């Protein structure tokens, strides 16, 4: 039984961190800078060769997601504080970047029996 992976909640615990709660019960913490440097858009990655066009040294150290917008049911667009806004991150891609950990720890964290 496979289920389409999707977030049930997206939170910003820190300004430079996106925390995604997934519908499979896991939670991924994604550092803003890591996400920005993993941007899959045609400006950052050559569509044909897969070569990375983005110069990571040009990403501001204090990069932050300015806006996070849902794109259909399968992805989200992130508008960055450096003005970059063409990146669309599919949920599959995000889940591969950071598979996450079970939300409530091992054994589901249920107390008692
Ligand atoms: Zn990009």
Residue 16: pLDDT band with limits 50, 70, 90: very high
Rounded distance from Cα 3 to ligand 1 centre (Å): 28
Specify if 106 maps to a domain.
no
Quote the domain boundaries for residue 13: 7-98
Residue 104: pLDDT band with limits 50, 70, 90: confident
The model's pTM is 0.85
Task: Tell me the backbone φ, ψ of residue 58, rounded to 5 degrees.
Answer: -95, 0
pLDDT: which is higher, 1 or 102: 102
Please check the confidence at residue 109 and state whether its pLDDT lies above 60: no
Specify if 103 maps to a domain.
no
Domain tally for the chain? 1
Rounded distance from Cα 66 to ligand 1 centre (Å): 14
Rounded distance from Cα 1 to ligand 1 centre (Å): 33
Return the CATH number at 56.
3.30.2020.30
Rounded distance from Cα 14 to ligand 1 centre (Å): 22
- Give the pLDDT score at 34: 96
Please check the confidence at residue 62 and state whether its pLDDT lies above 70: yes
68: which residues sit within 8 A by CB, 6+ positions away? 10, 18, 76, 77, 78, 79
- Average of per-residue pLDDT across 88-108: 86
């Amino acid at each position: 039984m496979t289920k389409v992976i999707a977030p049930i909640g997206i939170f910003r615990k820190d300004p430079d961190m996106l925390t995604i709660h997934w519908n499979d019960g896991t939670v991924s913490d994604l550092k803003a800078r890591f996400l920005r440097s993993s941007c899959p858009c045609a400006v950052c990655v050559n569509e044909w060769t897969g070569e990375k066009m983005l110069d990571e040294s040009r990403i501001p150290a204090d990069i932050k997601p300015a806006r996070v917008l849902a794109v259909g049911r399968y992805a989200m667009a992130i508008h960055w504080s450096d003005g970059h806004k063409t990146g669309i991150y599919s949920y599959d891609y995000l889940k591969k970047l950071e598979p996450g950990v079970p939300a409530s720890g091992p054994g589901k964290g249920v107390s008692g029996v």
